[in-house]
């Protein structure tokens, strides 16, 4: 990232953070006729990067549902609450209900006809918790280790699903014309997660289940960790694979909203696809579905 871009992102993040300090409640003015695209899949399947690129090129709003669970996990740990403790479960669900989570993705949208050969820069998603920028904090190994306990809490899921549905209908967890201008999309919304097509948006216009073999996904995660680490020698591939398989087991077998492909979802196996190729395919599917439903994008 160039110095100028870094300064620009820092300025935007600082400005948004100040505005988020005034968060009070949901804006009750929903946008109408938003095309809803639901993307589900296991960890490291490529769904989040693909979802952001697709949203950028379609000029849709992007909602990272997983970031919301990470934000609640961070909030719980900051108050010394244990995600796995039954004694703390009700306190954490109350924390989820009272915390204000704001997600904003910085786009530099190319035209929709843009091809993968041009390799546009990846959009950056900023996450705010009660007005504080926690974009990097929620990606720490400590959050990853504890998020399953939060995601399996039925009351937390109930709260966050309500917020996610509101976001998908253009209702946001803030007040203020400036943020409304930044966030509002007149076309559609892309949401990715583990249960978006089955639970959060069961009537989405298009559902896609992104997947790949565990070993392929572990290689991707390993490379990501190496790129962001200052000490690459500390990152062990076998441990990455083990953690990923454990996460898969928790996601697929949990009693509340388990990870599974919706009956009407399109399966997209990404083992031999780059992120840009995934985005190309998803955009193709969106345009086909929009044409079928006479939706002008």
Domain 35-289: assigned CATH number = 3.40.50.300
Tell me the whole-structure pTM to 2 decimals: 0.80
Distance separating alpha carbons of residues 197 and 226, to the nearest angstrom: 32
Estimate to the nearest angstrom the gap between the alpha carbon of 106 and the chain centroid.
14
Beta carbons of 204 and 40 less than 8 angstroms apart: no
Beta carbons of 71 and 134 less than 8 angstroms apart: yes
Token pair listed for 152: 């399996």
Domain boundaries, the chain: 35-289
The string over 105-128, giving b where at least 16 C-beta atoms fall within 10 Å of a residue's C-beta and e elsewhere, is bbbeeeeeebeeeeebeebbbbbb
- Tens digit of pLDDT per residue, the chain (297 long)? 444 444 344 444 444 444 444 333 444 444 457 899 999 999 899 899 999 999 999 999 999 999 999 999 999 999 999 998 999 999 999 999 999 998 888 887 455 554 454 555 678 889 999 999 999 999 888 998 899 889 889 999 999 999 999 989 888 655 444 444 445 556 899 999 999 999 999 999 999 999 999 999 999 999 988 887 777 778 899 999 999 999 899 889 988 888 999 999 999 999 999 999 999 999 999 999 999 999 988
């Amino acid at each position: 990232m160039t110095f100028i871009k870094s300064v620009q992102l820092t300025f935007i993040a600082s400005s948004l953070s100040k505005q988020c300090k005034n968060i009070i409640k949901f804006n009750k003015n929903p946008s109408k006729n938003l095309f809803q695209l639901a993307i589900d899949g296991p960890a490291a399947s490529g769904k989040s990067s693909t979802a952001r690129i697709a949203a950028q090129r379609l000029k849709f709003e992007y909602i990272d549902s997983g970031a919301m669970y990470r934000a609640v996990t961070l909030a719980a740990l900051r108050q010394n609450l244990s995600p796995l403790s039954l004694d703390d479960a009700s306190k954490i669900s109350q924390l989820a209900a009272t915390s204000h989570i704001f997600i904003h993705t910085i786009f530099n949208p190319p035209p929709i006809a843009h091809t993968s050969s041009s390799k546009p820069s990846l959009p950056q998603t900023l996450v705010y918790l009660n007005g504080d920028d926690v974009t990097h904090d929620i990606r720490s190994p400590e959050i990853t280790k504890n998020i399953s306990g939060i995601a399996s809490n039925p009351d937390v899921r109930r709260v966050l699903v309500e917020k996610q549905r509101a976001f998908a209908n253009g209702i946001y967890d803030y007040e203020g014309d400036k943020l409304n201008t930044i966030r509002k999309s007149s076309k559609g919304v892309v949401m990715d997660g583990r249960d978006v097509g089955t639970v959060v948006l069961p009537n989405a216009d298009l559902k896609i289940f992104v997947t790949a073999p565990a070993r392929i996904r572990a290689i991707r995660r390993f490379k990501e960790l190496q790129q962001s680490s200052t000490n690459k020698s500390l990152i062990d591939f076998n441990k990455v694979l083990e953690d990923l398989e454990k996460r898969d087991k928790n996601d697929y077998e949990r009693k509340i909203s388990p990870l599974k492909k919706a009956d009407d979802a399109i399966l997209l196996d990404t083992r031999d696809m780059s992120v840009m190729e995934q985005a190309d395919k998803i955009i193709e599917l969106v345009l086909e579905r929009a044409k079928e439903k006479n939706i002008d994008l």
